[in-house]
C-alpha cells in the first residue's frame, strides 16, 4: 500500500505536470488544492528536489517546478524514494534485501517463490509507467 507521503508526492507531481507552462508553483497552491499540510508537503517536495525531479525558485514568482519531463519520471523511482522497497517481503527485495528471521530455508519457502512473481509483475508495471501515464489518466 502506498503511504500518504507517496500519494501526496504523486498529487504534487501531477499538479506540477499539469501546470508546467506556468513556471514555478507555490507550495501553498498545491497544499490548498489537495488539503495537504504545508510543512509535510514542503518536506516531500524537498525530497523530490534532492532526487532530481524538481527545481525551485526563491523570491517573487518562486516555487517548485518539474525539471524532468513527465515521461522521464518512472513511478517506481518515486515509490522507492519515499516508501522504500516495492517488494512485499524483505527476502524478495532487489534493493533492500534481508532474510526473513522465521524462515528456515529461503530456497524451500513457497511464500518466497510466490512473492518473487508478485514483485516481478509489479516492477514490470511500475517501471514502464511514468508521471505522464497519470497525467493522461486525468
Would you kindly state where each structural domain of the chain is located, as residue ranges? 4-66, 73-130
- Which region, left, alpha or beta, applies to residue 52 given φ > 0 means left and ψ of -120 to 50 means alpha? left
pLDDT over 70 for what percent of the chain?
Answer: 100
**Span 10-35, mean pLDDT?**
95
As a whole number of angstroms, the distance between CA 62 and CA 83 comes to 28
Separation between Cα atoms, residue 92 and residue 85, nearest integer Å: 10
**pTM surpassing 0.75?**
yes
Q: What is the CATH number of domain 4-66?
A: 1.10.10.10
Tens digit of each residue's pLDDT (9 = 90 or more) over 73-89? 999 999 999 999 999 98
Amino acid at each position: 500500500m502506498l503511504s500518504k507521503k507517496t500519494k501526496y508526492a504523486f498529487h504534487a507531481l501531477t499538479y506540477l505536470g499539469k501546470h508546467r507552462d506556468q513556471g514555478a508553483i507555490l507550495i501553498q497552491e498545491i497544499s490548498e488544492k489537495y488539503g495537504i499540510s504545508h510543512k509535510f508537503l514542503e518536506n516531500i517536495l524537498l525530497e523530490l528536489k534532492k532526487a532530481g525531479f524538481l527545481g525551485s525558485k526563491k523570491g517573487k514568482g518562486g516555487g517548485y517546478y518539474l525539471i524532468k519531463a513527465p515521461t522521464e519520471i518512472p513511478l517506481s523511482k518515486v515509490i522507492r524514494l519515499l516508501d522504500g522497497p516495492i517488494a512485499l517481503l524483505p527476502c524478495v527485495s532487489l534493493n533492500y534485501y534481508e532474510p526473513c528471521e522465521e524462515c528456515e530455508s529461503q530456497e524451500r519457502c513457497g511464500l518466497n517463490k510466490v512473492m518473487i512473481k508478485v514483485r516481478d509483475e509489479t516492477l514490470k508495471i511500475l517501471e514502464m509507467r511514468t508521471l505522464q501515464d497519470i497525467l493522461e489518466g486525468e
